[in-house]
């Protein structure tokens, strides 16, 4: 299986030039002008188009038991949607409950992808408790399952959340393993108490989700993690930072020597808090945690991407249907959905809305449209935050995130002249709505390859279910 892409403008995080790219047996074997055509090679003309390294989404949920329901995508639909958007590698958050063993959980999560994933993939292993068996389980996750990053929640008290003793012990274990700890940073106690107060006051609609988890709560969670990371010397990575005070808490720690990566996500860059305030419960479509903030934070995050403060742009893809799943939190749940839906038996309110926005398919198009096309970021930054930095942080570089001899032939031919519209009617995700319904986009992935195999051609799916490989990673220590 060989492919020669001719005359494209190759753009990486550090270089930009016009050349041909030859891939053979799944890897890039030659780069240069006017490459000879070996026998049996398919030739594709990319004149007038960009050639990017395959994009990497370092924060997705495909299989996710959450808030009394399950995410809608499986690995067949989720990986197809990723590829249709130009993303060739996914890193899924494994999120077991506190009752589950982390080693058994990661094996379950891996089994959900095997044979279904069309793109390549790996995982962050969730640690939702720390007892006498956890350290050994974490060693096995690195040594046997070949996973190099872990995930903790400083939120979701009573579900995924860990306490401070567990956080300290997890950080120590991660440091010893030469791994990276990713973290959802909010103050769980403040969220829980604020939610109780709002609901008691009759404030039950989705518009109260953001006030229940304000920016101060997220910033405190980030500062909290940074204190622990500084004490232990562990490399950390804060997922889905949504606001200026949260980023500042991390950058202040960086100045003290803490090694901390910063991720933001596509919804925070393109949407603002007014969406969750839409009437008649429609705002539930935009409920995620941390919440989408006021536009001033959106502008700040774009600047942090441009100046290099933010390392990656991910999605936190968490796909739930508007009806009936998001309606689990409708104040009149039994009346608001079809007759087959059964209310939980509790007085429904915004705290029961499954958190998350389906977004894995739209991330790169939104980043290009609202970043590159508007002049907020240049093409090198675009590639860096959507691909290369994730590969570097999580032990995949230069196999992924680069166009170089020996790198995997994960390539995206991007047509900057294409114009289109986002819609649930045409997306590949399994959900019944799009958070960006009717939004225009500029540019699209015209052709997408995974290890040299064409998965998207002329913007149309032509991929193979199960083509994706699990990506083993080794300790950086």
**Cβ–Cβ under 8 Å, residues 268 and 314:** no
Q: For residue 257, give the 3-state DSSP assignment.
A: coil
- How confident is the model over 188-204, as pLDDT tens digits? 999 999 999 999 999 99
Q: Range of 318's domain?
A: 55-372
Q: Residue 159's pLDDT is what?
A: 81
Cα–Cα distance, 384 to 382 (Å, whole number) = 5
Indicate whether 106 belongs to any domain: yes
Q: Residue 342's pLDDT is what?
A: 43
Q: Residue 332's pLDDT is what?
A: 77
Indicate whether 36 belongs to any domain: no
Positions of the chain with pLDDT under 70: 333-347, 475-477
Indicate whether 469 belongs to any domain: no
Q: Residue 476's pLDDT is what?
A: 55
Indicate whether 352 belongs to any domain: yes
Mean pLDDT, the chain, whole residue set: 95
Q: Residue 345's pLDDT is what?
A: 45
- How confident is the model over 95-124, as pLDDT tens digits? 999 999 999 999 999 999 999 999 999 999
The residues near 418 (Cβ < 8 Å, ≥ 6 apart) are 442, 443, 444, 446, 459
**CA dihedral angle for residue 97, residue 93, residue 437, residue 455, rounded to 10 degrees:** -140
Domain count across the chain: 1
DSSP 8-state code for residue 351: G
Tokens of 442: 């500029």
The residues near 89 (Cβ < 8 Å, ≥ 6 apart) are 54, 55, 56, 57, 119, 120, 121, 122, 391, 396, 400, 410, 471
Cα–Cα distance, 387 to 52 (Å, whole number) = 9
Indicate whether 221 belongs to any domain: yes
Indicate whether 173 belongs to any domain: yes
Q: Residue 361's pLDDT is what?
A: 98
- How confident is the model over 370-406, as pLDDT tens digits? 999 999 999 999 999 999 999 999 999 999 999 999 9
Q: For residue 3, give the 3-state DSSP assignment.
A: strand
CATH number for the domain that contains residue 287: 3.20.20.140
């Amino acid at each position: 299986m060989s492919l020669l892409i001719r005359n494209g403008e190759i753009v990486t995080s550090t270089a930009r030039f016009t050349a041909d790219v030859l891939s053979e047996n799944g890897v890039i074997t030659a780069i240069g002008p006017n490459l000879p055509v070996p026998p049996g090679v398919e030739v594709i003309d990319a004149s007038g188009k960009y050639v990017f390294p395959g994009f990497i989404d370092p924060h997705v949920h495909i299989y996710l038991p959450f808030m009394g329901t399950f995410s809608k995508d499986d690995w067949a639909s989720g990986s197809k949607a990723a590829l249709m958007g130009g993303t060739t590698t996914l890193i899924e958050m494994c999120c077991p409950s506190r009752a589950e063993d982390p080693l058994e959980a990661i094996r379950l999560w891996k089994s959900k992808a095997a044979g279904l994933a069309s793109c390549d993939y790996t995982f962050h292993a969730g640690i939702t408790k720390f007892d006498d068996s956890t350290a050994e389980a974490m060693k096995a996750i690195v040594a046997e399952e070949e996973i190099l990053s872990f995930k903790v929640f400083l939120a979701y008290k009573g579900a995924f959340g860990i306490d401070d003793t567990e956080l300290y012990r997890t950080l120590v274990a991660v440091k010893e393993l030469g791994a990276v700890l990713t973290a959802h940073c909010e103050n769980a106690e403040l969220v829980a108490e604020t939610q109780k107060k709002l609901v008691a006051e009759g404030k039950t609609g989705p518009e109260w989700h953001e006030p229940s988890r304000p920016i101060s709560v997220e910033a405190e969670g980030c500062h909290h993690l940074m204190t622990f990371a500084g004490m232990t010397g562990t490399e950390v990575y804060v997922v889905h930072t949504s606001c200026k005070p949260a980023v500042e808490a991390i950058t202040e720690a960086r100045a003290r020597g803490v090694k901390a990566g910063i991720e933001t996500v596509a919804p925070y860059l393109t949407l603002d808090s007014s969406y969750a305030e839409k009437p008649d419960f429609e705002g539930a479509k935009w409920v995620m945690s941390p919440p989408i903030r006021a536009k001033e934070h959106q502008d700040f995050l774009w600047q942090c991407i441009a100046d290099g403060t933010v390392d990656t742009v991910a999605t936190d893809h968490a796909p739930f249907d508007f009806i009936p799943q998001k309606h689990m939190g409708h104040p009149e749940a039994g009346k608001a959905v079809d007759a087959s839906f059964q209310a939980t038996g509790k007085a429904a309110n915004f705290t029961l809305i499954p958190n998350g926005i389906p977004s894995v398919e739209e991330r790169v198009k939104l980043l290009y449209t609202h970043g590159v096309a508007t002049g907020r970021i240049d093409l090198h930054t675009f590639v860096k935050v959507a691909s290369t930095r994730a590969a570097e942080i999580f032990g995949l570089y230069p196999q992924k995130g680069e166009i170089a001899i020996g790198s995997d032939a994960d390539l995206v031919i991007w047509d900057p002249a294409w114009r289109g519209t986002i819609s649930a009617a045409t997306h590949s995700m399994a959900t019944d709505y799009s958070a960006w319904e009717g939004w225009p986009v500029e540019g699209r992935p015209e052709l997408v390859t995974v290890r040299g195999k064409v998965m998207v051609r002329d913007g149309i799916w032509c991929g193979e279910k199960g083509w994706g490989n699990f990506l083993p990673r080794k300790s950086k220590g």
